[in-house]
Structure 1
Amino acid sequence: MCTGLTEKQRLYRKWVKELRSSMATLLHKVDLEYHLVTSGWYTRNTKASSLNDVLRWKESFSHLLRSKEGRYAFHTFLQTEFSEENLEFWEACEDYKKTRWVKKLPSKAQGISQEFLQIGSPREVNIDHRTRELIYKKMAVPCRNCFDAAQEQIQILMEKDSYPRFLKSPVYNTLLKQSFPSTVTMSFT
């Protein structure tokens, strides 16, 4: 009896293990999205958006980002895709730009860097190496626009990748349905 596994058998076992892991992640994503939509969790935790607002989010990604409720809906969707750190980074950059006290910029910049930009950080965003190095250079003397290049990259990534899926998602479709007036009365007098 042969006690060792062949290389083919080891590769097959590894492949099966990865497949099981991928399936578990996919099932968790589907379950989370279903729970968020069917439980009413989203609608209980936000103020109702008007139909006009929800329809404007579909017009452009910038309309979605300008709306607090739109960002909240998008964040809920990103949680189902395990990529909410992208929007959180974008929002942290927006908050950073609005910092009134120049003396607070270095500590805020360091916090953003540690949370989102350092390689291996728990909520690391996907930016290229050149942009990361540029930010580190700008952080030597932090200014309000030191994260602009990374923020723009993440915004483009969300717009091209996650945003189209958001517009087709149960989260968006549920909001759209809930925004329609429940009753329409017509009078022909």
Structure 2
Amino acid sequence: MCRTLATFPNTCLERAKEFKTRLGIFLHKSELSSESGSLGKFEWASKHCKERSFSEDVLGWRESFDLLLSSKNGVAAFHAFLKTEFSEENLEFWLACEEFKKIRSAAKLASQAHRIFDEYIRSEAPKEVNIDHETRELTKTNLQAATASCFDVAQGKTRTLMEKDSYPRFLKSPAYRDLAAQASATSSPASSSSPAAEPSHT
């Protein structure tokens, strides 16, 4: 299916396979929901060998929550981890809000706002997120004249909850630690992330 794979050096393919296996720990029996349209499939290698950038990506997840959320692989791994804690709705809601902000049509904005509210915000919603009553009521009021920012407060609170609660546990999970160790081992000898650190032998 992907012809370019045949042209990759064997070591690159082997390392990509290693990473895929390691990340499979996170994704074990975890079908990523494509309902929100935000959780796509992994892109292991395309155009060029990316084992180095992928290992840097994995190590970046522990630097900040923002880096994790800006990485497709990071979001997918974090989503799978949240599934093990039965709290994946928080990330799914955050992602749905990110997609919602991109909508340009006023009619579509209004219909999507109600869909997101019904799915994540209203009491006893199928994927109800953990927010306080005040925020829930404020969001309900915002729906009367839906704008791209009508979920901002609820999204912010959900994000803070994930960053302070689930994210530290994700970083301490054996699966992530194992993956990070593998990424460190791969990135160090291959090429250090800082270009200045070149070995000079005389």
Normalised to the residue count of structure 2, the TM-score between the two structures is 0.67
Task: After TM superposition, list the pairs within 5 Å mapping 1:35-50 onto structure 2.
Answer: 37=25, 46-48=42-44, 50=54
Deviations 1:38-65 (A, max 9, x none): 88778xx633462211121111111111
Match of residue 72, structure 2, among 68, 72, 79: 68
CA distance, structure 1, for counterparts of residue 29 and residue 182 of structure 2: 13
- Runs of 4+ that moved beyond 2 A: 38-42, 45-49, 177-180, 182-189
Of 98-107 and 82-91, more deviation after overlay is shown by 98-107
Task: After TM superposition, list the pairs within 5 Å mapping 1:1-189 onto structure 2.
Answer: 37=25, 46-48=42-44, 50-179=54-183, 180-181=185-186, 184=189
More helix by share: 1
Q: Which has the larger radius of gyration?
A: 1
Q: Which runs of 5+ in 1 are unaligned?
A: 1-35
Normalised to the residue count of structure 1, the TM-score between the two structures is 0.72
Q: Cα offset for 1:176?
A: 1.6
Percentage of pairs with the same residue: 51
Q: How many residues align?
A: 152
Q: Secondary structure at the match of 1:150?
A: helix
Q: Secondary structure at the match of 1:59?
A: coil
CA distance, structure 1, for counterparts of residue 83 and residue 67 of structure 2: 20
Contact 1:105–1:143 (Cα < 8 Å) also in 2: yes
CA distance, structure 2, for counterparts of residue 85 and residue 40 of structure 1: 18
Superposition CA RMSD, Å? 2.6
